[in-house]
Structures are given as C-alpha cells and as structure tokens.
Structure 1
Amino acid sequence: METVEKIQQMKDNPKVSGCFFWGYQKDEKFIHKQIRIEGIAEKLSNEECEEYHNKDPLFCQIRSHICQQGQKVDWDELKKKHDEILEAVKETNKPLKMPEYYVAYRIIPNMFDFYYSYNTNIADRLAFTKQCEDKWTFERIAA
C-alpha cells in the first residue's frame, strides 16, 4: 500500500535501519541479544511480491486483503471480513490472489551490529561494515 507514511518516508530517504532485540532466561543466566541492520530500502518487483504472498500462510494472505496498514478499524467489521474471505477460500478451494496494493521492501545491508550479553558480564559487540561490493570488515566495539 503506497499511501502509508512509512513508504513515503522510504521513497524520500531510502536509508533505513532495523533493530531486533530478544531477551530470555536460560538456566540461571539472563541473556540479551540484539541485531541492528543499516542499509538501503529497495522495493520488490510485483513478481517477488507475488512469490512472497503465495508462500504466506492463509491467515497472512487474508490479512493483506482486509488490513489497510495504519488505518483505524472496527475490529468486529474486520473479523467479519476475515471470516467471509476464509469461508470463500474454503468453499472454492482456490488460492487467494495478491491484492493490487500489496508492496514489500528489502533492506540491502551495508552494516550489521551484533550485541550479546548475559547476567552482569561485559557485553560483546561486533560491527560488520560493507567496504565494497564483495568486501566486509568487522571490528569489536564497545557496548
């Protein structure tokens, strides 16, 4: 959906980042991990979008039909639309086609930052930076 503010921002400035954190307890250790990615957002072709859409589970495909990202919704109305589409797919046994407004982006990375720590130990952090097309360097950096 090309009218979403996030997509307009990526068109204006394709430099993006993503950060993924997960913390958990294993035995007596509290473990914290994080990966940060920086790079350039690139819109996927319609063919690539269709490939992703077709691999998605049915509930994700239905969601792409009923949810206009960022729009306010009436949950009961959304649930009703979901159930109608689900019933139609079950009755016809035909795959659900990708909506015309479906868009997806990939991040072409130029930096990865990996963070790891547990309990009160000093954290370990590695940064990988792309130097040219096929060369990456890495260094250990302070957490």
Structure 2
Amino acid sequence: MKTIIHAGAGTLAMILIAGFLTATLICELLLKETAVLLVKEAILAGICLLIPTMAITGGSGFSLAGGRHSPAIDRKRKRMKLIAANGLLILLPLAILLYLRAAAGLFDGLFYTMQALEVLAGSVQFALLARNFRDGRRMTRSKRRATAKTFRTI
C-alpha cells in the first residue's frame, strides 16, 4: 500500500508541475495579461495541493526505504533534498511574488526575469522528479514482474 501511495503522490506532483509549466508558457506566449493573472492565481491554488503531495511523496519514500541504503535509494534521497529546497526556497516565493506583481499589473522586466527563473526552476523540479520516478520504477521492476507472472499462471 505504501508503494501505491508513494507512486500516486509522486505522479500527481509531476502532473501538477507539468501543468503549471504548460499553463505558464501558453499564457505568456499566446494570451493577454488577464490570462497571466488567472494562471498565477491557479498556480497558487495548485500549490496548496502540491505541497502536501510532495510531503506525502517524501514521507512515504522515507518509510519505504527504511534504514536501507543502495545507490538508487541514496540518489532518490539526495534528489528529494534538492526538490524540497527548490520548491520551498525558489518556486514558492516566486509563485507568490509573480501573482502579486500580476495582480498589480506590473508586467515589467523584473516580472519577466522572475518568470524565466520560475520556468527554469520548475523545469529542474520536473526533471528531478522524473529521475526519481524512473529510479523507483527500476527498483520495483522485479516485484512487478513477479506479480505479472503470478497473474499469467492463474
């Protein structure tokens, strides 16, 4: 059950981050400033789901790993520290500041510099989560194969 919760929470986090990035890029490239404000507002609302999702992912991963060490587990732990720092120290403050500037109609050089930084940090966040996802799939590959073999013999 822990594995399902961990995988589900991690997948939801990746979907949310991909959605934030996609919405940001589309509204910046194709839509008006009012759409940018709506996207920034939606991202703040989405963060209220993303933060607990990331906490569940990290907590369940820590629980699944227990005291074990392996290269894959150690890589995932190291990435989770980077993911947490990136999210709480860069992405969250940028999301708040970008929303406040958009709400005030301040679409200036500083806004677009922060926007570029948010897209860059969000892309890094997605890439780190994707690598953890990949490593998690590799770690459970033998378990999935055994389950599939059991179902085929039934």
Which structure is higher in helix share? Answer: 2
Q: TM-score, normalised by structure 1?
A: 0.22
Q: Which protein is bigger by CA-based radius of gyration?
A: 1
Q: TM-score, normalised by structure 2?
A: 0.21
